Amino acid sequence: MFAIRRERLVSTFPDGVEWLAVSQPANVTYLTGFTGEASWLLLCRQRAVLVSDGRFESQLAEERPDLEVVIRPPTRTTLETVADILQQAKAGNVGVEATQVTLAEAERLKELAPSITWVPMGGLVERLRRVKDPTEIEAIRASIDVAERAFAMFRAVLTGTESEKELADAMESYVRRAGGSGTSFPPIVAVGARSALPHAPPTDRRVNESPFLLLDWGATHRQYRSDITRIIRTGPRLGIGSSEWREIESRLEKLYTVVLRGQELAIRSIRAGVRAAEVDIAVRRYFEEQGYLREFNHGLGHGIGLQIHEGPSLRPSSPDVLEEGNVVTVEPALYIRGLGGVRIEDDVLVHADGCEVLTRVPKDWSMGIVW
């Protein structure tokens, strides 16, 4: 599988480029299966050389005994070792990942190997990663399953007295107990009006201060990620029925209905061959008809896989065209300062004639996610 991916990558090299130096960790993992960090993959038509250090020697022997590996000594840097290997191979034009290599690293490579022409390149591996193969899709499904089991734990132990920070910290442990290696990103727990902040940092505000909270979480499992967002209605369970809370819930239900219908519209329009921008724009147009265009202040979604944000991108200016095998989030949202925000997010697999919603956590208001 990894050899096939490398062959596909080499076939995309532009004319004149003989080698590609891959340094982005997720790209190295995608092309080799190695799960460590601080390692470079040097790739040409005839060879694939993984440059690493002594910390990973045993791990490499376990994970990738089939690879040609160069373990640099402690006295040599990775850049020095990369330059040595490429000069010994008499490389001429070598591509480097322009979005990963720093300016200082690029200048150092030129000093170490002045005979090599270093060619800034970007997106070659990332473009391959957009279309998931069956192994990757299986891993993403497993990651979603871990996230959903962690969510069940989250709801089961909720008392209403916890703070946002306590719940965010707890979700980290639930994901691990459910079988994940960790969360995909720091969980977002936003109570009441704080949910109007799309990336609300957790505070000491407590669940019982509002009739609802927003939870955005995901799991990492077998290196692949998931990403889900739900609104949890806490008011019915707490039994607090003040007129103020009833007014908040009434306004929230209206907002929730608009967001859910927007998401359903997006999901119905997703299939291979559709421009990603068109999906986003359709939802934005619907929100405008409902009088809420300004309240949607981010893109509709993004690809997930080895990273929590990768291609394709679902936003108004996206140049991407959806392909069979893309896995994307669909996360329309409306944020109203003083009331709160509603974001509903699912992970979706693109098929030739439609899409498949991979996440299974309920989201219909009448069914509710009522704690």
| CATH number of the domain to which 95 belongs | 3.40.350.10
CB atoms within 10 A of CB 38: 13
In a domain, 362, yes or no: no
- Amino acid symbol at 295: E
Reference 42, options 10, 15, 20, 66; nearest CA is: 20
Record the pTM: 0.94
CA distance 203 to 210: 14
Q: Are residues 119 and 212 in the same domain?
A: no
- Round to whole Å and give the CA distance between 312 and 56: 32
- Shared domain for 83 and 149, answered yes or no, is no
The reply to whether 295 and 227 lie within a common domain is yes
**DSSP letter assigned to residue 143:** H
Locate 255 and state its tokens: 């907002």
Range of the domain at 234: 131-357
166 Cβ neighbours under 8 A, 6+ residues apart = none
Q: Is 304 helix (H, G, I), strand (E, B) or coil?
A: coil
Q: Is residue 371 part of a domain?
A: no
Q: How many CB atoms lie within 10 A of CB 324?
A: 15
What pLDDT sits at residue 165?
Answer: 98
* Residue 363 is assigned to a structural domain of this protein: no
Give, for all 371 residues of the chain, the pLDDT tens digit: 999 999 999 999 999 999 999 999 999 999 999 999 999 999 999 999 999 999 999 999 999 999 999 999 999 999 999 999 999 999 999 999 999 999 999 999 999 999 999 999 989 999 999 999 999 999 999 999 999 999 999 999 999 999 999 999 999 999 999 999 999 999 999 999 999 999 999 999 999 999 999 999 999 999 999 999 999 998 777 766 678 888 888 899 999 999 999 999 999 999 999 999 999 999 999 999 999 999 999 999 999 999 999 999 999 999 999 999 999 999 999 999 999 999 999 999 999 999 999 999 999 886 556 66
Phi and psi angles of residue 315, each rounded to the nearest 5 degrees, phi first: -150, 165
Sign of CA dihedral 54, 58, 63, 64: positive
